[in-house]
């Protein structure tokens, strides 16, 4: 289904009003000034057609495409403005291992500072899965252990674990948000199939 | 413990032949010092223990389970003590002697030497210490039993330390590793870090949906997203965050990225909403199709070889197990459990099945009436899915009614084991099942 610009169709009353306006404009253009001491005559008797009417309604705004609306949402903050560049890692200006757009999103969430740190740790561990060497079993295991540690940290920082789980699920979705990243993420998970990892105990939150 | 031998053995009256008399001083460490050397002592419970003695030294504090070794040492020590070269020749259990021989040179030139024989007594101490302990003979001739390293004394027994308890998790259909970890941590939060004072270990056994079967269905779901995302001018084309929310069942959850997108558009909103609903349906259908393929061509021991090896290693390191499985993880846990029972019968294991896709189960299970994935398998009909045994209301938190965290560990919705029942959340139900399994395996002495 394609969205086409909607044509503005005037109502019958609107057409009549417009015609009147045009007529008035023409009449005022043709009317002249007086010649030497010309006197103004009595005004012409008002005709029914010149009775003042309500100004015409403003035309309905053109419908926006879905993409335009989404762009507006991203500009206003109603939807996170995510990096969608083709490179898998994406921008990380401060080099903390968390992609900049995701870091911005986390910092905007209405949670405590310690919970934001836990979410950033989760973002970092998920980001690592996109760049870890897929043929390095030890590195893969380390990446998996990072996921376990960040999950443990989230459990410690959020009184209700499901709250952390919802945030973390969004971070996961945003991390693998392009086709290139999604494909890379699928390869990581395939490489980890058959693995086993112990969940750590105690405080695994990074300083 | 060590013993210091000084030359000077005297033979016992049973010994024949000429011997040189020398005093022997034997130092025997007191029993308390024996503890430091316990590592050198092997457990001999139930076996015979031997000491040797002569008139002069009393019982040698060394202990033997091997008579030949005892007699070799006893004869050597006696040779050193007497200065006579003796050879150990036999063990006489009737006489309780280490028999030896030696050569006596004749003072008469040309006369052949004479071979003489003798014996060193030994004592037999039989079965004096219980299993998993060893005995030390004190200087006073008393035998004291000590428990082997790692065993705890309890009355007249030496008890093995309790085995470690491990809760293992086998993840559900098309879970990413993060989602599998999420499920395990959610269980850990519910169950707690310990059970009746014993620490629990939590282990994730990650499987991405088999190695062969099921992967084509996963690819189908991704392909479907690629194709459908081209609709509506490709509005979803490079917005794969919605794909992951489809996979996790959270597309229609309040506050999800997908819901935010839908809530913010005005023009064309219904078209986009219809597209999302269509993707939800096709994703669910993909899950069911993939699961049916997996059940038709179930995983084998080869597919779970790595996990079985890990379970075996943990069993050898004295772990017992509660294995919790979700969705297609149940197909894998059944094989792993059977292999573990076969190869490590001493390790105790119990299984808790959540939303089992497997036709058979190895323990208690829970299957919700709202689970569209597992109950959808019934339409494929060629095998038996477990009967529904938990009823609960549906929710947009998880439209599939199938996810571990969204549905089976939900602590808000009330349900119960009969239709229309209320009063218990699915989280409480699952927790009860896990605790029952822990009680079952932790009850071993």
Question: Residue B15 pLDDT > 70, yes or no?
Answer: no
Residue B96 and residue B126 in one domain = yes
- Measured between CB atoms, which of A84, A170, A197 is closest to B238? A84
The overall average pLDDT reported for chain A is 81
Model pLDDT for residues A144-176, shown as the tens digit of each residue: 999 999 999 999 999 999 999 999 999 999 999
Average the pLDDT over each of A5-9, B231-235, B328-332, B426-430 and give the range with the smallest value: A5-9
The larger pLDDT score, comparing residue B415 to residue B213, is at: B415
Residue B108 and residue B228 in one domain = no
What are the residue ranges in chain A where pLDDT is below 50? 1-13, 17-19, 23-48
The larger pLDDT score, comparing residue B246 to residue B15, is at: B246
Contact list in A for residue B177 (CB cut-off 8 A) is 129, 144, 147, 188-189, 192, 195
Residue B129 and residue B192 in one domain = no
Residue B445 and residue B429 in one domain = yes
Q: Could you give the number of structural domains in chain B?
A: 2
- The band of B90, judged by pLDDT with boundaries at 50, 70 and 90, is very high
Query: Whole-model pTM above 0.90?
Result: no
Residue B210 and residue B302 in one domain = yes
pLDDT score of B149: 81
Chosen for mutation from A125, A197, A200, A204 (greatest number of chain B CBs closer than 10 Å) is A197
In the listed set B129, B159, B189, which residue is the last one of a domain according to the structure? B159
In the listed set B159, B179, B209, which residue is the last one of a domain according to the structure? B159
Please compute the mean of the pLDDT values over residues B95-106 and round it to a whole number.
92
- Min Cα distance B43 → chain A (Å) is 34
pLDDT score of B56: 58
Q: Which domain covers residue B379, as residue numbers? A: 162-445
Residue B189 and residue B258 in one domain = yes
pLDDT score of B215: 57
Residue B239 and residue B137 in one domain = no
Residue B105 and residue B23 in one domain = yes
- Measured between CB atoms, which of A65, A185, A196 is closest to B204? A196
pLDDT score of B107: 86
In the listed set B106, B141, B159, which residue is the last one of a domain according to the structure? B159
Question: Residue B395 pLDDT > 70, yes or no?
Answer: yes
Residue B293 and residue B202 in one domain = yes
Residue of A nearest to B270 (CA): A66
Residue B343 and residue B410 in one domain = yes
| Residue extents of the structural domains in chain A | 98-207
Please compute the mean of the pLDDT values over residues B377-396 and round it to a whole number.
84
The larger pLDDT score, comparing residue B23 to residue B6, is at: B23
Model pLDDT for residues B421-437, shown as the tens digit of each residue: 999 999 999 999 999 99
Q: Is the CB of B177 less than 8 angstroms away from the CB of A174?
A: no
Model pLDDT for residues B147-164, shown as the tens digit of each residue: 888 888 877 788 888 789
Residue B134 and residue B172 in one domain = no
pLDDT score of A54: 67
* Burial of residue B412, with CB atoms counted within 10 A of its CB: 0-12 exposed, 13-18 middle, 19 or more buried: exposed
The larger pLDDT score, comparing residue B257 to residue B12, is at: B257
Residue B170 and residue B66 in one domain = no
């Amino acid at each position: 289904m394609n969205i086409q610009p909607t044509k503005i169709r005037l109502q019958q009353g609107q057409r009549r009003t417009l015609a009147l306006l045009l007529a008035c404009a023409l009449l005022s253009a043709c009317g002249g000034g007086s010649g030497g001491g010309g006197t103004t005559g009595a005004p012409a008797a008002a005709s029914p057609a010149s009775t003042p009417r309500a100004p015409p309604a403003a035309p309905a705004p053109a419908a926006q495409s879905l993409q335009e609306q989404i762009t507006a949402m991203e500009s206003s903050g109603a939807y996170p403005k995510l990096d969608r560049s083709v490179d898998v890692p994406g921008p990380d200006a401060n080099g903390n291992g968390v992609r900049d757009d995701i870091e911005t999103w986390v910092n905007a969430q209405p949670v405590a500072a310690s919970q934001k740190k836990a979410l950033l740790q989760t973002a970092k561990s998920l980001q690592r899965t996109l760049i870890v060497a897929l043929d390095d079993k030890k590195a893969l295991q380390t990446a998996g252990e990072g996921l376990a540690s960040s999950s443990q940290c989230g459990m410690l920082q959020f009184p209700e674990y499901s709250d952390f789980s919802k945030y973390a699920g969004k971070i996961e979705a945003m991390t693998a948000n392009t086709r290139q990243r999604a494909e890379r993420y699928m390869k990581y998970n395939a490489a980890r199939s058959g693995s086993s990892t112990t969940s750590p105990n105690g405080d695994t939150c990074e300083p | 413990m060590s013993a210091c031998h000084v030359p000077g053995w005297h033979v016992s009256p049973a010994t024949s032949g000429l011997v040189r008399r020398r005093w022997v001083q034997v130092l025997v460490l007191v029993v308390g010092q024996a503890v430091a050397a316990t590592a050198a002592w092997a457990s001999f419970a139930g076996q015979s223990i031997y000491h040797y003695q002569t008139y002069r030294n009393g019982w040698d504090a060394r202990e033997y389970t091997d008579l030949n070794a005892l007699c070799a040492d006893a004869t050597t020590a006696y040779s050193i003590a007497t200065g006579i070269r003796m050879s150990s020749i036999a063990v006489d259990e009737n006489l309780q002697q280490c028999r030896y021989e030696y050569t006596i040179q004749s003072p008469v030139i040309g006369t052949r030497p004479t071979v003489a024989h003798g014996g060193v007594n030994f004592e037999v101490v039989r079965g004096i210490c219980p299993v998993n302990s060893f005995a030390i003979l004190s200087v006073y001739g008393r035998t004291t039993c000590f428990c082997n390293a790692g065993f705890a004394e309890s009355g007249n027994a030496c008890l093995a330390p309790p085995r470690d308890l491990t809760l293992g998790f086998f993840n559900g259909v098309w879970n990413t590793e993060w989602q599998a970890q999420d499920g395990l941590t959610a269980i850990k939060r519910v169950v707690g870090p310990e059970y009746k004072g014993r620490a629990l270990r939590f282990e994730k056994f990650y499987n991405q949906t088999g190695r062969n079967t099921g992967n084509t269905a996963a690819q189908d779901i991704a392909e479907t997203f690629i194709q459908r995302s081209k609709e509506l001018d490709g509005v979803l084309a490079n917005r794969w965050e919605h794909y992951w929310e489809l996979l996790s069942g959270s597309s229609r959850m309040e506050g999800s990225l997908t819901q935010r997108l839908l809530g913010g558009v005005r023009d064309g909103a219904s078209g986009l909403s219809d597209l999302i609903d269509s993707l939800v349906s096709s994703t669910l259908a993909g899950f069911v199709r993939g699961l049916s393929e997996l059940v038709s061509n179930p995983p084998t021991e080869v597919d779970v070889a790595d996990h079985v090896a890990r379970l075996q290693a943990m069993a050898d390191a004295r772990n017992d197990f509660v294995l919790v499985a979700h969705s297609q993880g149940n197909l894998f846990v059944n094989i792993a459990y059977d292999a573990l029972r076969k190869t490590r019968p001493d390790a105790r294991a119990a299984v808790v099945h959540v939303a089992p896709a497997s036709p058979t189960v190895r323990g208690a299970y829970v299957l919700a009436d709202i689970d569209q994935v597992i109950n959808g398998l019934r339409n494929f009909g060629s095998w038996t899915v477990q009967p529904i045994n938990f009823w609960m209301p549906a929710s947009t938190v998880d439209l599939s009614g199938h996810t571990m965290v969204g549905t089976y560990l939900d602590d808000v919705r009330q349900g119960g084991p009969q239709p229309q029942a209320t009063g218990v959340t699915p989280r409480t139900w699952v927790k009860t099942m896990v605790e029952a399994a822990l009680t079952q395996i932790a009850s071993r002495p």
